[in-house]
Amino acid sequence: MVCFHCGDTIDRTTEHFELHHHQSGSDPILQHRFCSCECLNEYLPDQH
């Protein structure tokens, strides 16, 4: 798997952060993985 923000490879054994959110309608829950909280915060600038 890779970081959704920067594209760095994430190994299952390394620490990573996952974001789950559900889109409107019947779309499934989307799962984005980030290699660090920095990438997560850059992807979600309004949610500090």
Percent of the chain predicted with pLDDT > 90: 29
Domain limits for position 44: 1-48
CA end-to-end distance (rounded Å), the chain: 25
**What is the domain count for the chain?**
1
Q: What pLDDT is recorded for position 26?
A: 67
Q: What pLDDT is recorded for position 11?
A: 85
**Number of Cβ atoms within 10 Å of the Cβ of 8:** 12
Return mean pLDDT, the chain.
82
pLDDT at 8 over 90: yes
Q: What pLDDT is recorded for position 16?
A: 85
What separation in angstroms does the CA of 46 have from each of 2, 39, 42? 23, 13, 9
pLDDT at 47 over 90: no
